[in-house]
Amino acid sequence: MSISLINPATGETIRSYEYMREAEVEKRIIRANEVYASWRKTSMSHRAERMMKAAAILREGKEKYARLMGLEMGKPIREARGEVEKCAWVCEYYAGNAAAFLADETVVTDASLSFISYQPIGVVLAVMPWNFPFWQVFRFAAPALMAGNAGLLKHASNVPGCAEAIEEIFLEAGFPKGLFANLKIPGSRVAAVIRHPVVKAVTLTGSGPAGSAVASAAGGAIKKTVLELGGSDAYLILRDANLGLAAKTCAQSRLLNAGQSCIGAKRFIVVPEVYDAFLEKFLANMAAAKMGSPYDETTDLGPMARHDLREELHSQVLRSIEKGAVCLLGGAIPEGNPGAYYPATVLAEVAPGMPAWEEELFGPVAAVIRAQDEAGAICIANSSVFGLGAAVFTEDVERGQRIAAIELEAGACFVNGMVKSDPRLPFGGIKQSGFGRELSVQGIREFVNAKTVWVR
């Protein structure tokens, strides 16, 4: 089957490619398992050397990889460079910490010696999205390979160049050939890979429907799964918030990666006392974002990754307006531009029943919601089926900390800052945003066998 790649900034066809034949996929799966048998016996120091080399290769090729992301999915060059740097960071983080994270843990019992031994489990399949085409992969691969596992990558169909580049990075870094392998297959063939006897687990970052399909296949085969799915992150603006900071941070989070981020701010829930003042500042920040070519150093807002995604987003905007939302900025597809651009858009007076309230807006569209009071704002934030991230803005840091730690229902809650992932902190969601954790010590322990050893 031939797939045509479209440059989202120009609408032009980049190239075409064919999916892998079944025989090649089978060969790569078997090879990964064979290499795993020896890789799992290597020392942590050896693995760390290879991972540090991968970090160096990423930094050396930063411009090349950044431009590749811009070509395939439209990421602005400044953001793309930052993504490459973050990938190098996660490689260095696990190279430096994996040995401690997976060290044997002695437990006092009735035995003369008893301890927990963390051992690799084998071949892990990663089903990854296009929105952060390098970062999503490396935040899985760095801990998985350092733990002694092998990795298979089924990447999104519109970023095959990124998938190939990542495989080449690990090869150049000295990892055994086949330990990390790219599977160029359509989504319809993922279930068969999950069911393959040598595949021991699967991790997916993507949409709810994709997560449900992968979880069903993995559950049927009784295989471990980690899912990081969609989000509709709520940012609460309380009456004592620093409105300048809040407006700037909210706009930055909403427009990052053209709004195509699971942990991007999407719902802005504001108490009545500061609603008008916040909205004025927020509109100014959103309107100031410059839309343009991914390769322009001054671009703040690049194109969306695909035209069909833009059409879906625009439909959500129009249907929300039909139900009573007020469009204060943007909301129209640019005329005469063949790229998949969509302007920074602000919808106010968003209420239940509207797509902007009920659904994830995966693009540069903000839903501003007027809350009755602080308790009402928290209630609205938690009413979503999603639970990935959330933030609260208040000058009372102790109150903000209490709300973030106890009252908001999400996997990552920030106070006076933008929700983001960090190798040092666990990352993941609850409710329909998925289950399991990536990054930190929790992330590397997702795909190991926590083995009890008891000795008399």
Residues acting as catalytic residues = 228, 262
- The C-alpha atoms of residue 365 and residue 362 are separated, in whole angstroms, by 8
- The C-alpha atoms of residue 376 and residue 372 are separated, in whole angstroms, by 6
- The C-alpha atoms of residue 238 and residue 394 are separated, in whole angstroms, by 6
- The C-alpha atoms of residue 233 and residue 327 are separated, in whole angstroms, by 20
Find out whether 201 and 223 touch, Cβ atoms under 8 Å: yes
Cα 169 → chain centroid: 20
Integer angstrom CA distances of residue 65 from 8, 61, 162, 237: 17, 6, 8, 37
- The C-alpha atoms of residue 392 and residue 399 are separated, in whole angstroms, by 10
- The C-alpha atoms of residue 320 and residue 7 are separated, in whole angstroms, by 29
- The C-alpha atoms of residue 158 and residue 260 are separated, in whole angstroms, by 15
CA nearest 198: which of 31, 382, 418, 445? Answer: 31
C-beta atoms surrounding 326 within 10 Å:
13
Start-to-end CA span in the chain (Å): 59
Task: Label residues 375-396 b or e (16+ Cβ within 10 Å = b).
Answer: eebbebbeebebbbbbbbbbee
